[in-house]
C-alpha cells in the first residue's frame, strides 16, 4: 500500500473563533458546508454526500480550538491517517485562520487541496465571510 502524504492548508477567515468552532465541531454546523448531512452517535460521525455515506471517528476535540477525525475505513485497517481542522488566532493582529491537516495519495494531493478549497469556500459563504 502506498503511503499517503500529509499536507496542511491555511485559510484566513473573518469570523469569531467561537462561531467557527460551532461550524467545524457539530453535526448541524458541518452539514452546512462540509457534506450534505451529518449524523453523530457518540464518537462516530456519519457524513453523507449525494446518498453515499462515510463514517469518521472523533479522535479529539478541544473546545474553541480544534477537531480531529479518522475515517473508519482507515481505523479498521489500522492506519494512522486523520484530518484535523484547527482554529488559529494571531496573537497580535487577532486575525483568524482555519488550519486543515489531511492526508492523500501522492497523485491525489492537488485534488484533495482543491476539494478543501471548495469546502472552505462554502464555509465562508455560510459565515458571510467571503
- Residues of the chain below pLDDT 50: 1
User: 49: which 3 cell numbers?
Assistant: 454526500
Helix (H, G, I), strand (E, B) or coil at 102: strand
- Please name the helix (run of DSSP H) or strand (run of DSSP E) that holds residue 45, with its range, or none: strand 44-49
Could you list the residue range(s) of the whole structural domain that residue 108 is in? Answer: 5-127
Please state the φ and ψ torsions of residue 98, each to the nearest 5 degrees.
-105, 125
CATH (domain of 93): 3.30.530.20
The count of domains in the chain is 1
Amino acid at each position: 500500500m502506498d503511503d499517503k502524504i500529509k499536507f496542511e492548508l491555511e485559510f484566513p477567515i473573518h469570523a469569531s473563533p467561537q462561531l467557527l468552532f460551532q461550524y467545524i465541531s457539530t453535526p448541524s454546523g458541518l452539514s452546512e458546508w462540509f457534506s450534505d448531512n451529518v449524523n453523530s452517535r457518540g464518537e462516530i460521525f456519519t457524513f453523507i454526500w449525494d446518498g453515499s455515506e462515510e463514517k469518521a471517528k472523533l479522535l479529539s476535540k478541544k473546545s474553541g480550538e480544534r477537531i480531529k477525525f479518522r475515517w473508519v475505513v482507515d481505523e479498521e485497517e489500522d492506519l494512522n491517517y486523520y484530518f484535523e481542522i484547527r482554529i488559529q488566532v494571531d496573537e497580535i493582529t487577532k486575525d483568524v485562520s482555519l488550519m486543515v491537516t489531511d492526508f492523500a495519495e501522492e497523485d491525489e494531493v492537488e485534488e484533495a487541496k482543491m476539494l478543501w478549497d471548495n469546502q472552505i469556500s462554502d464555509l465562508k459563504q455560510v459565515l458571510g465571510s467571503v
